Chain A
């Protein structure tokens, strides 16, 4: 500490202080500009969402003022008589999506468990991308496959079998002559939502701390008991959020459903009859809609779909947040 403090060498001046000033002001401008442009882009995204809602409701305007809220439950839909109601398609939407979730949910969670906890590493690396690939198949191709391959097969094999064994439940009534049915639509929707729920729940299960699972194993729990007692309870809300996201996807699918559901116009408990959904009816009828009221009514269906979709997505986000929070506490 006895060294004499050497004088700090003067910072060599740059190319004259005026150049430095210019650069500094350029930087100040650049920072502000970049921030403004990026912020503007973000604001644009918010604006797009708001304008989407606005446009859809505006398009539905004439139908809203004509039919009011009764439209939502009214089952009549007769474009020739200018009578419109969403009851039939709302029922079809809910029943087909619910059924898809009923079949697809457990399968997807099982796949998530397999990919996160059970599969050997090498197998996991192969199957994970394959399951995700299932989600990449365009709906128009999957729907076409459903129409040409799955529907006849289901009509010949699944439906009679279900009718014979579970026929006392009104859902499994008499199979129809073509395979186009709410049931086929549910199967196609199942194929679409399984990869979504499976990949989210796989990530959830992978995030469950290893030592908690090892602790359960050390206490003598079998693999299933570890899953049942540790993994599933700590990820419940995340799994529910994933299922809601899958449900949202199923509710809004237009094309594939339009191809296989048969565009029926009756509410029937029998899953093997034709039906229609909100999104599929818009896809089927919009290009041919001539009268303003017909178009407005289809927009009204869109507004209902938008409302249901936003609610299910927001609920999923909200539950997902709670999940994050709880995991943060546990750490």
Chain B
């Protein structure tokens, strides 16, 4: 390092090597920025395409009429199976979360957590095969089968999401409750759960948003419908949006393609609004919990 005596007037300009290192660093930063721009760009292109091509298909008739003019029965059917799925998954998910934060300890709850992560990572088509084998094979396709498949997909999302908010409930609240001699179950039901309502709702909405667009399991367990009429009987096949889009996308005529874009726009808008709503709700409830 020593090149002659110290020269206080030496220029602070970078010499060759430092300049190279700075250029490398600069290039890396630009690269990372470009990657982020690319991802946002792809999102923008996809959303723009769905908006631009789907908007033309949307009309009042399209939303309420049945096949071949509209997707009314499919909308109702999707709402039904997602609703039943939520009714199954939400309570069980919350109970599992309570188990993990309030009762579980050590090995066993680690095992349950691992199970939830594995279920979350299962390909959804596998869940479709499972429900087919369990409920559809030798019987028939039904809304209930579809709802069970969606519930399995939703379960880990609700459970893990709820568990995270329950963990955020201040320890002082549990201690205060204990100090007052409140028993465990009362303090869980009247102190801990109420203070985590916002977070539980967020997790449930996120799960609903995920389930609403699931297609793979429905193709196996709830896909043989003509979509002309609204049908609500949970033990029969009900028409639904994702399978409809999948079917339309396999047709070649432009009419079908336009309808698919329209149905896609409806589904995507619902999912995006639900996602944004969940995000806002989470921010609010976190702020309240901190404050």
Contacts and interface: CB of A to CB of B under 8 A. Distances in A.
Interface of A: 27-28, 30-31, 33-35, 37-42, 44-46, 48-49, 51-52, 55-56, 58-59, 106-108, 110-111, 113-115, 118-119, 127, 129-131, 133-134, 136-145, 147-149, 191, 194-195, 198, 222-225, 227, 245, 248-249, 251-255, 259, 279, 282-283, 286-287, 298-299, 302, 305-306, 309-310, 313-314, 317
B129 A37 contact: no
Contacts of A314: 118
Given A119-B36, A223-B25, A305 B126 contact: yes
Given A38-B102, A279-B125, A140 B246 contact: yes
Contact of A139 (B115, B215, B279): B215
Contacts of A287: 219-220, 223-224
Contacts of A133: 43, 272, 275
A132 B42 CA distance: 12
Contacts of B29: 118, 223-224
Contacts of A144: 245, 249, 260-261, 264
Interface of B: 21-22, 24-25, 28-29, 31-36, 38-40, 42-43, 45-46, 49-50, 92, 95-96, 98-100, 102-104, 109, 111-112, 114-119, 121-130, 132-134, 137, 152, 155-156, 159, 183-186, 188-189, 209-210, 212-216, 219-220, 223-224, 242, 245-246, 249-250, 257, 260-261, 264, 267-268, 271-272, 275, 279
Q: Which 10 A-B pairs have the closest CB atoms?
A: A252-B123, A138-B213, A41-B95, A38-B99, A27-B183, A222-B25, A110-B35, A224-B25, A30-B185, A114-B32
A283 B155 CA distance: 23
A55 B95 CA distance: 26
Contact of A137 (B46, B95, B159): B46
Given A46-B115, A255-B215, A302-B125, A35 B103 contact: yes
B268 A45 contact: no
Given A136-B272, A252-B122, A198 B39 contact: yes
Nearest to A253: B123
Contacts, number: 253
A191 B42 contact: yes
A259 B115 contact: no
Nearest to B99: A38
A321 to B, nearest CB: 9
A35 B11 CA distance: 72
B112 A115 contact: no
Given A56-B129, A118-B32, A38 B272 contact: no
Contact of B126 (A34, A52, A222, A249): A52
B124 A254 contact: yes
A56 B137 CA distance: 12
6 contacts: A45-B96, A45-B159, A51-B130, A139-B216, A255-B216, A309-B126
A34 B184 contact: yes
B168 to A, nearest CB: 16
Contacts of A35: 103, 184
Contact of A254 (B103, B123, B134): B123
A56 B33 CA distance: 44
B125 A254 contact: yes
Given A58-B133, A144-B260, A251-B123, 17 more contacts: A30-B186, A34-B184, A45-B92, A56-B130, A115-B36, A129-B279, A134-B43, A138-B213, A140-B245, A141-B50, A145-B49, A222-B21, A224-B21, A245-B121, A252-B126, A287-B224, A309-B122
A205 to B, nearest CB: 11
Contacts of A147: 249
A195 to B, nearest CB: 7
Contact of B246 (A51, A253, A259, A299): A259
B242 A140 contact: yes
A252 B95 contact: no
Contacts of A222: 21-22, 24-25
A262 to B, nearest CB: 12
Given A35-B103, A131-B36, A45 B249 contact: no
